[in-house]
A and B are shown apart, each in its own frame.
Chain A
Amino acid sequence: DVKVTQSSRYLVKRTGEKVFLECVQDMDHENMFWYRQDPGLGLRLIYFSYDVKMKEKGDIPEGYSVSREKKERFSLILESASTNQTSMYLCASSTIGYNYGYTFGSGTRLTVV
């Protein structure tokens, strides 16, 4: 069964901490994405990557950075966590082509206190 695995289901961090969210996929997908999901705002794209060491800003990249050193792993970094970054974070991967679809991880519920 193909999978996208996020390292933590729940995470509590303090304001100002550097936070790493890890995502690993086992499907050899080219594309990987990080979204955040907030009530009433739907899913918003933070960053995505088409290939190893490549990254593109999404709609809300401020306060975040990413790293993709290996094809299967895409990390989201909160340089200095703030309370407004409390959210559900979803990682997804996809292959390319007209009939592609996303496979999502189970999500990480991050609370910044």
Chain B
Amino acid sequence: KNQVEQSPQSLIILEGKNCTLQCNYTVSPFSNLRWYKQDTGRGPVSLTIMTFSENTKSNGRYTATLDADTKQSSLHITASQLSDSASYICVVSPDPDGKSTFGDGTTLTVKP
């Protein structure tokens, strides 16, 4: 069964600090892995998309890494801001037909 597991479930950090969120998956075959940011009460917004041939992708202060051999991905947030407080969701797709597997998300709280 395809699964995506994210850790930690929740995280609290101080403004300006860095943090790393983890995503482990058992989806196979693998097409792409995406990270989304979801503010409370809003729809998810795409941060990064990585295919099997990519191992790093950056979007401003967000850097995603992918190890297709170990089936692990991480999202690193640098110099956190209060606006980074959100849920971060990892999504993995086995093929391009649209059937994706979602992780349950990591809730990040950035405190001043």
Contact = CB atoms under 8 A, between A and B. Distances in A.
A98 B46 contact: no
Contacts of A102: 34, 36, 44, 46, 91, 100
Interface stretch (A12-20, A42-50, A68-76): A42-50
Interface residues of B, number: 23
A104 B32 contact: no
Interface in B24-44: 31-32, 34, 36, 41-44
A107 B41 contact: yes
Contact of A106 (B31, B42, B96, B102): B42
Given A4-B43, A100-B96, 6 more contacts: A42-B104, A98-B32, A102-B44, A103-B46, A104-B36, A104-B44
Given A99-B49, A100-B32, A33 B98 contact: yes
